[in-house]
Amino acid sequence: MSALQLLIVALAGVAVAGVLGAFVIAYRRSEAAPGTSRSWRSGVSRETRKADRSDLPSPVVARRPAPADEVPEAADDMPDVRAEAVPEEPSGEEEAAVPSVPGAVQAVEVMRVEELSPQEAGVNRRQFFTRALGITFGAFLGLNGVSYLAFLWPRLSGGFGSDIDVGAVADIQAEVIQGDGSILPKFVPEARAYIVPFAESDLSRSQFEGMPVVVGGLSALFQRCVHLGCRVPWCETSQGFECPCHGSKYNYTGEYEAGPAPRNLDRFEVLEEDGRMIVKTGTILQTPRAVAKTVPYPQGPSCIALTTADEV
């Protein structure tokens, strides 16, 4: 796994851990003990608090009856209301509901409803899920964008899509042309390419004349069948490439010979640097079916018995 893939996996893990952590925090807040100020504050949405504020006069005033010793003596012609005014100390929500006594002097206690800042109010469930959804969707889009960018971005060093050093030209020449004169292409997995011999003297009579596809008597063929994309294996006996999927066949220079393939095998641009062969896997060259072939095919029994109506 490459460093970029590891980075993407790590970012995905961090995003998932972040969402889970936010979920746990919000869940604990919602599970706080009822009756505490923290509980009712976090459980009420901002919209609800706004609606409440708009319905209430500000500040809210509640009347509490004065203590008995503060109630002045009533005039003789007035009834003694002290006992009625303060039957017992009210508590809790009953404070706001204490009736006023006509004619009595009353102490007034002002209760102010303070507006909570967003930090004090916290995040309710709806806000949490909205934000979590947004974060998850954003992380998904971000990671996908990074993945696509990494896939499409030409690699600057190493790997398919970059310029790959496949070895010394002299070594490859000795490797692909056997002692008995038969051909054994060199497969380079990193470049997804077969390195095959291609006599430079044959260039002028081939359809590749003028194209930078031969260096040091070598050419690089893309391993993929141009019909539907199967990897085309080498057939030792026929000295060609024969696709097992639908029977397309190509000679060892990649020229079309038979089957449903619409063109020759694709090939890469190549160059030589300090005696080494460089395959530019970011540049794939396509050519139509060859009419005049540069090498004979087949040179022996075919590896696949499959034939098609298009076979010639």
With CB under 6 A as the contact rule, the residue among 46, 49, 125, 227 that binds ligand FES is 227
Q: How far is the CB of 231 from ligand FES (least distance, A)?
A: 9
Q: Is 228 in the site for ligand FES (CB under 6 A)?
A: yes
Query: Considering the complex, what minimum distance in angstroms separates the CB of residue 227 from ligand FES?
Result: 3
Residue with Cβ nearer ligand FES (65 or 247): 247
Concatenating the DSSP letter of every residue in the chain gives: --HHHHHHHHHHHHHHHHHHHHHHHHHHHHTSPTTSHHHHHHHS-HHHHHHHHHHS-SSEEEE-PPPGGGSPPPPTTS---HHHH-SS---GGGGGGPPP-TT----EEEE--PPPPHHHH---HHHHHHHHHHHHHHHHHHHHHHHHHHHHSPPSSSSTTSEEEEEEHHHHHHHHB-TTS-B-PEEEGGGTEEEEE--GGGGGGSTTTTSS--BTTEEEEESB-TTT-PBPPEETTTTEEE-TTT--EEETT--EEESS-SBSPPEEEEEEETTEEEEEEEEEE--BPPSS-SS-S-SS--S-----TT--
Name the segment binding ligand FES (CB under 6 A); options: 51-59, 129-137, 143-151, 238-246.
238-246
Interface pick for ligand FES out of 193, 215, 220, 225 (rule CB under 6 A): 225
Paired with 167 in beta bridges are: 277
Q: Are 144 and 13 in contact (CB under 8 A)?
A: no
Stretch that binds ligand FES, among 14-22, 52-60, 174-182, 224-232 (CB under 6 A): 224-232
Answer whether the bond into residue 57 is a cis peptide, omega within 30°.
Answer: no
Per-residue interface string for the shown chain with ligand FES, residues 133-172, x marking contact by CB under 6 A:
----------------------------------------
> Could you tell me the smallest distance in angstroms from the CB atom of residue 245 to ligand FES?
4
Interaction between residue 243 and ligand FES (CB under 6 A): yes
For the bound state, the minimum distance from the C-beta of residue 272 to ligand FES, rounded and expressed in Å, comes to 31
Instruction: Pick one of 246, 263, 276, 293: the residue that binds ligand FES (CB under 6 A).
Output: 246
Question: Which of 95-103, 105-113, 115-123, 228-236 is the region at the interface with ligand FES (rule: CB under 6 A)?
Answer: 228-236
**Options 114-122, 194-202, 223-231, 271-279: segment touching ligand FES (CB under 6 A):** 223-231
What are the CA-CA distances from residue 38 to residues 31, 116, 262 (Å)?
11, 11, 73
* Of 184-192, 211-219, 243-251, 279-287: span binding ligand FES (CB under 6 A): 243-251
* Of 49 and 231, CB closest to ligand FES: 231
Number of residues that bind ligand FES (CB under 6 A): 13
Show the binding pattern over residues 254-283: x = contacts ligand FES (CB under 6 A), - = does not: -----xxx----------------------
Amino acid at 23: F
Contact residues: ligand FES, CB under 6 A: 225, 227-230, 243, 245-248, 259-261
